[in-house]
Amino acid sequence: MAANSAVILIRRPQLCTQAFAEWAPPIDPKRIFITHAGCAAETVEAVRFEVEKLGLFEEILITEAGCTISNHCGPNTLGGVI
């Protein structure tokens, strides 16, 4: 991960968009990965919509968490990787 990267992991998806809106360190606005572990598609799309409304990122990518994150954080984990 690059030195200017950041990771946000939030166990309760409904708080994710609020955390993105309130969290504002200096970041590279090129892209954000919304990564989840078994979240409902409508939850992921709702978060994508809210992140898009912020207008901070040129590209928003949706990815599924791998086995390590899924195992340690559990189902319905959703986070952003900047």
In which band, very low, low, confident or very high, does the pLDDT at 15 lie, cut at 50, 70 and 90? Answer: low
Residue 1 has what DSSP assignment? -
Q: Are 16 and 10 in contact (CB under 8 A)?
A: yes
Please tell me the predicted confidence (pLDDT) of residue 4: 46
β-pairing, 31-37 with 77-81? antiparallel
Hey, where are the domains in the chain?
7-81
Global pTM value: 0.66
- Residue 6 pLDDT: 46
Output the CATH code of domain 7-81: 3.30.1180.10
CA-CA distance, 52 to 54, in Å (whole number)? Answer: 5
pLDDT of residue 1: 42
Over residues 16-68, the pLDDT tens digits come to 556 666 665 666 778 999 999 989 999 999 999 988 988 888 999 999 998 88
- What confidence category does residue 11 fall into, taking pLDDT thresholds of 50, 70 and 90? low
Would you state the pLDDT for residue 81? Answer: 82
